[in-house]
Amino acid sequence: MDKKIRVRFAPSPTGYLHVGGARSALFNYLFSRHHNGTFILRIEDTDRSRFVENAMKEIFESMKWLGLNWDEGPEVNGDYGPYEQSKRLDLYKKYAEKLLESGNAYRCFCSPQRLAELRTEQEKNKQNIGYDRHCLTLSEDQVAEKLKKGDPHVIRFKIPHGRIVSFEDSIRGRIEYKSEVLDDLVLLKADGFPTYHMANVIDDHLMEISHVLRGDEWIASTPRHILIYEAFGWEPPEFAHLPVILAPDGKKLSKRKGAASVMDYKQNGFLPEALFNYLALLGWSPGDDREKMSLEEMVKSFSLKQVSAKASVFDEKKLEWMNGLYMAERSALSLADIVVPEWKKKQWINSERSTHDQYLLDVIELMKVRSKRTTDLVENSVYFFKDPQTYEEKAARKYFKDNAAELLKEIYTELEQLQVFDKDHLEKLYHDFAQKSEISFGKIIHPARLAVSGVSFGPGLFELLSILGKEVVLRRIKTTVSFIERNRT
């Protein structure tokens, strides 16, 4: 590509950043990095009726957590700011006046009541829904009189009729619309704030955006944008409309259909690199069978030619699988920053314990490969900090019967005499004991695991025992023997 690549992600602070928005941001990011371009964050905050306090802050936090660091925008600045549309109102007013002067726009004084009645009538008669150009025929004197009286009004764009409006979509190919199906959209509202369409076109032009990568719900708006560019005599950017993301039931992903916020995924134990990797593959393929990819690999491989127009299904189980791969790969120290504060919240460890504490790092190292989420790691490691208060009921019935108490007593004696309490020595002790006693390995392994952890699953027994340490293991076995003997029938 010869032209300077500048792309933008332009969320509205009307709520959190959900996975659909994050995927759009991510594709823009990968595209810009692949072409050594510029990734811009722009806040489209002109819809004041839907503005949500603190939404902007959460958008920033979500993007930073995912690693989508912007080159220009709020908190970073740049040569094309301000990057919040509410701070650019004079610009929009100036350009709306230009369209009025050129005859490409007109003032509309229709009341909300009239517009509602018009819509009802059109629906009743099964007509296309849209403005009927009632105010287009107002004379200059009539307009001047209404302005003098201070009548509220909007500025509408005059759609040229009898046109085929076409554009080349980088993902979907050529798309055409008859201009008759496009109504005269509002550019500037009565409160002086621009609509999305007006602000979007002006900002993309002034910020020299080369490519617009956005969700496919904006396809129907694109011909209107093309006509606004044309009215100004500006060259439009290249467009690419990204495939929709579906819920597992085949319906569009929404807040009620699993479109959780990015921060929800953080709270629910997902790692940013796993969510990034998974979202990148929703609609894009590197052209081979690779699924787990580093950021560098994704940047190197990314191409709009390999983005499908077909909808993708968001499968949380697949995301969990991918997260498990990244969990296993992460260092215990990096996971400690996430996990240790949660253990402190549960009061399993005291608040002074450091993330560099070797015991805690050993626990994380042992459990990370057996966890799909950091929340799993937190919850499933309780027995490293607290003696079992209960035993898994079904497993207890199976493993705490017959001579289990006697075997545990004998194992207790052997363990008590063991000088080096590490994995290798423990494994040898158990093998020797099984051989000497002429019993199967499972008969002594399963009761021991249940005795020290309270559950029948988890990491290898000998790693578990060595981390817990001799004193804790002996105490828990002793407690278990008492429990079995009390509950004998």
Instruction: Report which DSSP code applies to 380.
Output: H
For residue 79, the SS3 value is coil
- Interhelix angle 441-453/404-417, nearest 10 degrees: 80
Q: How many CB atoms lie within 10 A of CB 389?
A: 7
User: Side chain identity at 6, as an amino acid letter?
Assistant: R
**439 closest CA partner among 466, 403, 474, 463:** 403
Per annotation, catalytic residue among 4, 57, 255, 346:
255
- CA-CA distances (angstroms) from residue 80 to 2, 42, 77, 91, 207? 21, 10, 8, 13, 6
- CA-CA distances (angstroms) from residue 353 to 176, 341, 384, 464? 64, 9, 14, 21
**Tokens, residue 358:** 């070797």
Active site residue 255: yes
- Interhelix angle 470-486/461-468, nearest 10 degrees: 110
* Sheet architecture: strand order including 154-157: 105-108, 154-157, 186-188
Alpha-carbon span 157 to 103, nearest angstrom: 9
- Interhelix angle 358-367/461-468, nearest 10 degrees: 170
280, 33 in Cβ contact below 8 A? no
Q: Which residues pair with 441 in a beta bridge?
A: none
80, 207 in Cβ contact below 8 A? yes
Q: Which helix (H) or strand (E) holds 206?
A: helix 196-206
Residues belonging to the active site: 255
